[in-house]
Amino acid sequence: MPEEELKVTKIRQGTVIDHIRPGLAPLVLKILNIGRGFPESVIVAMNVSSTKFGRKDIVKVENQILDEATINKIAIVSPQATINIIKDYQVVEKRQVVLPEELIGIIRCPNRNCITNSPENVPSWFHTVSRSPVKLRCHYCEELVEQDEIEIYEG
């Protein structure tokens, strides 16, 4: 086991989100709605070395097996992230994140004049145009949004 891995405590049971783009772990927490009041232990590691990508972030969520729809939202900010399901300290399942075709109510449209940013109370809705690189188009105002322009709603 590489030395860096040892810096991050193992979990007995739960979900490990690995290979998150360095610095983006806070966004992953936001997507997973992990914040004040979250009942389980969460371990966050940022900028640890990675053989594949140089640097990466890791998020470990104890006692929770995240469902596929939730996991796939992580692809919005980190399409190369991998998911490990842990039972008794062992990886029992590995999954890749897959950006969903539709994203509703997750991302703020960067177009300030879009109806989803108005008092009309319309949730944002994006269609995936491309997965790599990530490109999304607003269902309403048709703004094309690229990876670096993505803004996640505050939880």
Residues that bind another protein (CB under 8 A): 109, 111, 113-116, 118, 120-122, 129, 135, 138-144
- Reduced to 3 states (helix: H, G, I; strand: E, B; else coil), residue 135 is strand
> Considering the complex, what minimum distance in angstroms separates the CB of residue 153 from another protein?
17
Q: Are 97 and 28 in contact (CB under 8 A)?
A: no
* CB-nearer residue toward another protein: 99 or 138: 138
Tell me how far apart the alpha carbons of residues 140 and 126 are, in angstroms, rounded to a whole number.
Answer: 8
Exposure class string for 6-20: b at 16+ Cβ within 10 A, else e: eebeebeebbbbbbb
* CB-nearer residue toward another protein: 20 or 145: 145
* CB-nearer residue toward another protein: 58 or 103: 103
> Considering the complex, what minimum distance in angstroms separates the CB of residue 123 from another protein?
11
